Amino acid sequence: MAARSDVEPRKLLDSGAAQHKILADAVLGSRRQPGAVRVLEAGCGNRWVLTPHSGDVHITGVDTDADALRIRREVQGDLDDEIHGDLRTVALPAESFDVVYCSYVLEHVAGAQAVLDRFVAALRPGGRLIVRVPDGNSVYGFLTKHSPHRVHVLYKRYVERYPNAGKPGYAPYPTVYDEVVTLRGLRAWAAHNGLAVLHEDGTNLYLKHFGRLRPVVSAVLVAIAACSRGRLSASHNNICMVFQKPGDGAENASVETNGPGSQSSE
């Protein structure tokens, strides 16, 4: 079944917990042999949000932010291996990981498509790539791309109520939004590389932060989307996609269209 338009995700989720459950299942479901699932957490930041760390998951974390790695090591203590380096240049062993997990990182990277290609090379045949990004073709993404970084810090600190926002080791980081960091861009990139799309969703959970102003904010976003003549979407801000690399039986993978907490957009 086709989505309504090329800027609308196949599914809308109304719960972050529902998305985390789907992604945790995608990580554990990638296992093809006994032992821990080998995960490369690309841009690992200061915490892992999907599942409690256990012997079932072996996490290698990569990040350019030494402070974030320090917080992750000293507070969370859940990385099995850590690498301080740039995803564009750091050495990643070929075909070594069952899963590459990259959450809200690529919007900050100039050359994001080359980084995605490096992720695929690091996956074993049949391995899975999980990407979560703010959609550059959403109204939220458009406004973020074209507003100063200090605005993002203030928004995180005073609207989303993260008191450490902007401090060393904590988001937000400056944004770039390469063309691939969109729903359209990721779909095209996956098709070009022969990757199956196992899951695709969008969320607009940011609206919960506006309380009684939520209807007003929502109406403004819808108006901006209408003015864009179909180029931007107000239905979601973030997108999440799970891709599978060819090989190891992955050729028969299909797009998931249903799941808990979902509202179909098809």
**Cα–Cα distance for residue pair 217/222, rounded to 1 Å:** 9
**Cα–Cα distance for residue pair 228/232, rounded to 1 Å:** 6
b/e map 128-139, b = 16+ CB within 10 Å: bbbbbbbbbbbb
Handedness of CA 180, 186, 192, 194 (dihedral sign): positive
For the chain, 266 residues long, the average pLDDT of each consecutive 10-residue run is 65 89 90 88 87 77 94 90 96 96 96 98 97 95 94 92 92 93 96 96 88 91 93 94 86 45 41
Which pLDDT score is estimated for 97? 96
Query: Which architecture characterizes domain 11-134+170-205+239-257 according to CATH?
Result: 3-Layer(aba) Sandwich (3.40)
The pTM score is 0.89
3-state helix, strand, coil in the chain (%, to 5): 35, 20, 45
Which pLDDT score is estimated for 260? 38
User: What are the residue ranges spanned by the domains of the chain?
Assistant: 11-134+170-205+239-257
